[in-house]
A and B are shown apart, each in its own frame.
Chain A
Amino acid sequence: MSHIQIKNLKKSYVDKRRVARSGKPDAASQEIVVLDDINLEFEEGEMVCILGPSGCGKSTMLRMIAGFDQPTSGEVLINGEPIDGPRADNIFVFQHSGLLPWMTVWENVELGLRHLEDKEEKDKTIQEYITMVELTGFEHHYPHQLSGGMQRRAELARAIAVNPDTLIMDEPFSGLDFLTHMKVREEVVNMHEYIKKTTLIVTHDIDDALIMGDRVIVMSGRPSHVKLEKKLNFGRPRDLARNHELSELREEIFFMLGISYAV
């Protein structure tokens, strides 16, 4: 059985303002379908990158997998059980910082380890993950005292410190400058090699998806459905320019997303 299964997932909402303007009392005719009949499976330990035009509902899908949002119909199963809400083995990494700004890096990483009774063991674990993301020396800094890239790394440390079964990342590199983007991306890849947990990443960057993913999924515009699913059986690090298969796939996805030639 797959780790995560998405079955006939549909998400829609009614735009109340539009209903009022149209003057029709029939709300169903004004229903906006975001996701329509999505069926996907994610294997244990797999890193899957999800691409799609902006506003296509890929973030909405992630939020439903995290339990923040309920499907209109269909279901999301983790190990065969439907999700009933957010939980600590299913960690969401937010698009813009999800760090709590009134807590230091140390206190943020501690959030998922509050249940540990043994203070020594807890401190050791916190330090271990802070060291892993190379934030040694910044343990007692507040998020606003860190650069954008360091904030992302701190959030990564917090996410993996709980030893979750699934990591869900919503555009984890958005808003970072080019070099920082590369660096944090490398960090995520290394982290995944190391912990081997199911990792779902929504991105709008085709190169990110091709370089990182064990599999790439392309979604269409609204109402969104799965347009392409492709296994990427390539070793890492990957070089898009030299790998013929990947660069062809890249061009294909560009075309699929409505750009007639790859840049």
Chain B
Amino acid sequence: MFRKKITFPLITFLGVLILWELITRFSGWSHQVFPSPLAVLISMQELVINGELLKQSVASLFRVTIGFFLAVILGIPLGIILGRLEIAKLLFNPLVQFLRPISPLAWIPLAMLWFGIGDQPAIFLIFLSSFFPMVVSTSVAVETIKPTFFQVAANFNFSRYDVITKIVIPAITPEVITALRLTITIAWLVVVAAEMIAVQSGLGYMILDSRNALRMDYVMVGMIVIGIIGLFLDFMMRALGNIESTAWGRLSK
């Protein structure tokens, strides 16, 4: 079982590598345009040793962490309020729904004008990209809590505070964890795009800069690292779902 989980994906990755190698050899494209896997590996080693890769990865991760964290600590409470209070929903839900489909990338000109060039506009864009999905998923999760749970709460004399901490928060946790997983992926997509325009560091910037220098091997290194970090972020969020008191969300539905 465990072996299958490891070997089967490895076979696929190996297949892609072989295909990649075949294309570089027989497509007739120059190595400048389509570097071979080995060339990319050597470039990666180079970037690891001179510290460039670590520096840019940390820069990107720093922005994502701050932006995502802000979106989560503001988005979840707002989602709970929208899900619980009819009046709040009437007041704010249309605004949220209106802003939500505007791509965070459309905010780039304004973000740069307001915050200049640097971490701030990038963090702002990541915040925007994560905030709305968190608000919407949380409020939907709150609205779909089984009415039985609130009746149990009323039956056992729960205070309003108890209803939030003992019913609402645990009841939405499985859905919120799923939302965190999907949202961190969006945040990670957006940081690369934001860094291509609004900042002078990070993996996105590295890719853009390498393109300008016609170093497609560096571009590919950047892409591979983005993929690996993305996997790692998803893995971390998924680990949250293994907390025992949230297991009911996976099993009893």
Residues of chain A at the chain B interface (Cβ within 8 Å): 66-68, 85-88, 90-92, 94, 96, 98, 100-103, 111-112, 114, 142-144, 162
Q: Which B207-253 residues sit within 8 Å CB-CB of chain A?
A: 244-248, 251-252
Residues of chain B at the chain A interface (Cβ within 8 Å): 148-149, 151-152, 154-157, 166-167, 170-171, 173, 244-248, 251-252
A-B contact number at CB 8 A: 54
**In the docked arrangement, what's the CA distance between A233 and B252, Å?**
42
Contacts of A111 in B (CB 8 A): 152, 156
Is A88 a contact partner of B244 (Cβ separation < 8 A)?
no
Q: Which of B152, B156, B173, B245 has the most CB of A within 10 A?
A: B156
B155 contact from A86, A101, A114, A143, Cβ within 8 A = A86
Contacts of A94 in B (CB 8 A): 148, 151-152
Is B170 a contact partner of A86 (Cβ separation < 8 A)?
no
Q: A68-B151, A92-B151 are in contact. Are A101 and B156 (CB under 8 A)?
A: no
Is A86 a contact partner of B151 (Cβ separation < 8 A)?
yes
Min CB gap B160→A, angstroms: 14
Q: A102-B173, A142-B247 are in contact. Are A91 and B252 (CB under 8 A)?
A: no
**In the docked arrangement, what's the CA distance between A122 and B170, Å?**
23
Contacts of A98 in B (CB 8 A): 148, 151-152
Contacts of B170 in A (CB 8 A): 100, 102-103
Contacts of B154 in A (CB 8 A): 67-68, 85-86
Contacts of B244 in A (CB 8 A): 142
Min CB gap A199→B, angstroms: 16
Is A87 a contact partner of B157 (Cβ separation < 8 A)?
yes
Min CB gap A212→B, angstroms: 23
**In the docked arrangement, what's the CA distance between A128 and B113, Å?**
67
Is B155 a contact partner of A102 (Cβ separation < 8 A)?
no
**In the docked arrangement, what's the CA distance between A143 and B171, Å?**
14
Min CB gap A204→B, angstroms: 20
Q: A100-B167, A102-B173, A102-B245 are in contact. Are A144 and B251 (CB under 8 A)?
A: yes
Is B152 a contact partner of A142 (Cβ separation < 8 A)?
no
Q: A142-B245, A144-B247 are in contact. Are A100 and B155 (CB under 8 A)?
A: no
**In the docked arrangement, what's the CA distance between A85 and B170, Å?**
25
Q: Which of B151, B246, B251 has the most CB of A within 10 A?
A: B151
Contacts of A162 in B (CB 8 A): 156
Min CB gap A49→B, angstroms: 21
**In the docked arrangement, what's the CA distance between A71 and B151, Å?**
17
Q: Which of A68, A94, A102 has the most CB of B within 10 A?
A: A102
Is A112 a contact partner of B156 (Cβ separation < 8 A)?
yes
Task: Specify the chain B residue showing the minimal Cβ separation from A159.
Answer: B155
Contacts of B151 in A (CB 8 A): 68, 86, 92, 94, 98
Min CB gap A39→B, angstroms: 26
A88 contact from B148, B155, B171, B251, Cβ within 8 A = B155
Min CB gap A65→B, angstroms: 12
Task: Specify the chain A residue showing the minimal Cβ separation from B157.
Answer: A88
Task: Specify the chain B residue showing the minimal Cβ separation from A63.
Answer: B151
- Could you list 12 examples of A-B contacts with CB < 8 Å? A68-B154, A87-B157, A88-B157, A92-B151, A98-B148, A100-B149, A100-B152, A101-B248, A102-B246, A143-B252, A144-B248, A144-B252
Contacts of A144 in B (CB 8 A): 247-248, 251-252
Contacts of A142 in B (CB 8 A): 244-245, 247-248
**In the docked arrangement, what's the CA distance between A55 and B247, Å?**
34
Q: Which of B157, B171, B244 has the most CB of A within 10 A?
A: B157
Contacts of B167 in A (CB 8 A): 100
Contacts of B245 in A (CB 8 A): 102-103, 142
Contacts of A87 in B (CB 8 A): 155, 157
Task: Specify the chain B residue showing the minimal Cβ separation from A90.
Answer: B155
Contacts of B157 in A (CB 8 A): 87-88
Is B156 a contact partner of A102 (Cβ separation < 8 A)?
no
Min CB gap A16→B, angstroms: 18
Contacts of B155 in A (CB 8 A): 66, 86-88, 90-92
Contacts of B251 in A (CB 8 A): 144
Q: Which of A96, A98, A143 has the most CB of B within 10 A?
A: A98
**In the docked arrangement, what's the CA distance between A190 and B148, Å?**
27
Task: Specify the chain A residue showing the minimal Cβ separation from B149.
Answer: A100
Min CB gap B244→A, angstroms: 7
**In the docked arrangement, what's the CA distance between A88 and B245, Å?**
25
Min CB gap A176→B, angstroms: 17
